[in-house]
Structure 1
Amino acid sequence: MEHINGLLFLVINASVHPPVPVLTTALFLANWLVPLAVLLFITLWVRTSTNARGSLLTATVVMLIGLGVNQLLGAIYFHPRPFMIGLGHQYLPHLPDNSFPSDHATFLWSLGFALLILGHLRRWGAVLVLAGLAIAWARVYVGVHFPFDMLGSLIVSLVVAGFARILSGPLLKWVLTPCNSLYIRLIVALHLPPALFPR
């Protein structure tokens, strides 16, 4: 399996002199898709209905659980990053820490799969799943992850997203209302315009 993982990495990883547009795109995807997803969730929270906010809240909890599972797996099984064993070419600075699974891919995929399962905002769920594929390719291309790291993230994300409907009930009942109330108090206190920040 390690041999296959290494071979797949070398197929995807950038060459010694990669095309500048491809490398620039990969670096952008590797660095900025997660912050853009955070910005997307904030925007959707502001602009959508209460039911859709419930889906956003549940998806966020699912994502946090997924990242927690990643930490647990990393504590049980350490796998070095490609540059730590002198494999391939590294174009993105990174700490020499555990490679498996990828937190970036888990972040995007768990959010995306949760939204797809919950039904609200499915279009954005699909966008996030595609963004997960993009970041998976990008972070292998720039040399900081193996392909199997991404496969691990995909499995973790699918498993934790499977609990989205179970989690949504308690979250809608006990957490969403206080979050909505806090949000409304905040935008009122800041005198933010209702046209841009619906109550």
Structure 2
Amino acid sequence: MICWCHERTGRSLETPILKQYLISLDIAGLHGLQSWIDPASPIQVWAIRFFSDFHIFFMAGLLVVLWLYAVYTRQSLHKESALYVASTILFSLAIYLAVNQLFPVRPRPEAVSAVTPIISHLPDNSFPSGHAIFAAAALVAALLFPKNRYLTAVICTFGILMMLARVIAGFHYPGDMIVGAMLGTVFALVFYHIHQHAWIQAVCIRFPIRFARLFRL
């Protein structure tokens, strides 16, 4: 925020120059990304719709496959990796939901920027992006727990595609995604630093594993 001094009173007057500049960059970025596709192309619209949520289903399926692989090979380490990744994501989203009321309400782009959404969406708060928090938390968790570079590369790719797709679809501004990704990274790192606490190990790791054994999983 840039401040100017009033000539008569000497008081500092805040002018939203920086804020307006950032908003203009956000709008320009949104229009620039939307120019990548043709809204009249059914295939391109389908691709945007597909990738705007696919990463969530991919991560859910990946964790299930990792768990079943652990059952098949009888290696509990894979179960722990799956639980750590899932716990990191859930922890990050829980923190986001808990502090969401502290963030300023920002309408969806279609409400204020004359943007025609490619895909319809509920007119709720746009800032920050919960999907970006999810994507960043999943990536950080994959980097810290399974530590498989190929798996991490796939998770990173689908996460980026999801964030781009949601901007192109008109759900978010680029800034919503950037801030969401930053928050997801911070939340995931916080969980990593506390995950060795006894109560977290008991609730997030030992209890799910013991419960699954009742069903031979």
The TM-score by the shorter chain falls in which range? 0.7 to 0.9
| Cα distance change, pair 64–19 in 1 and its aligned pair in 2 (3 A) | same
CA positional deviation for 1:74: 3.3
Normalised to the residue count of structure 1, the TM-score between the two structures is: 0.83
CA positional deviation for 1:174: 5.1
| Cα distance change, pair 16–178 in 1 and its aligned pair in 2 (3 A) | closer
CA positional deviation for 1:113: 1.1
1:62 to 78, 88, 91: 88
Output the aligned Cα RMSD: 2.2
Matching of residue 10 in structure 1 with residue 31 in structure 2? yes
Structure possessing the higher radius of gyration over alpha carbons:
2
Matching of residue 99 in structure 1 with residue 120 in structure 2? no
1:127-184 deviation line (CA, Å, top 9, x unaligned): 2222110001101111111101110111012112213432332334554222112112
Read off the aligned partner of 1:140 and give its amino acid letter.
V
Read off the aligned partner of 1:57 and give its amino acid letter.
L
Aligned to 2:58: 36
Read off the aligned partner of 2:131 and give its amino acid letter.
H
1:34-80 deviation line (CA, Å, top 9, x unaligned): 12221211111221332232232222222123223333453121111
Aligned to 2:164: 137
Read off the aligned partner of 2:154 and give its amino acid letter.
V
Unaligned runs of 5+ in 1: 189-198
Aligned to 1:180: 209
The CA distance in 1 between the partners of 2:203 and 2:28, in whole Å, is 48
CA positional deviation for 1:122: 4.6
| Percentage of identical aligned residues | 21
Greater relative contact order (Cα < 8 A, sep 6+): 1
2:47 to 2, 9, 25: 25
- Asked whether the equivalents of residues 112 and 128 of structure 1 are also in contact (C-alpha less than 8 Å), the reply is yes
SS in 1 for 2:214: helix
Read off the aligned partner of 2:168 and give its amino acid letter.
Y
Aligned to 2:108: 81
Q: How many residues align?
A: 188
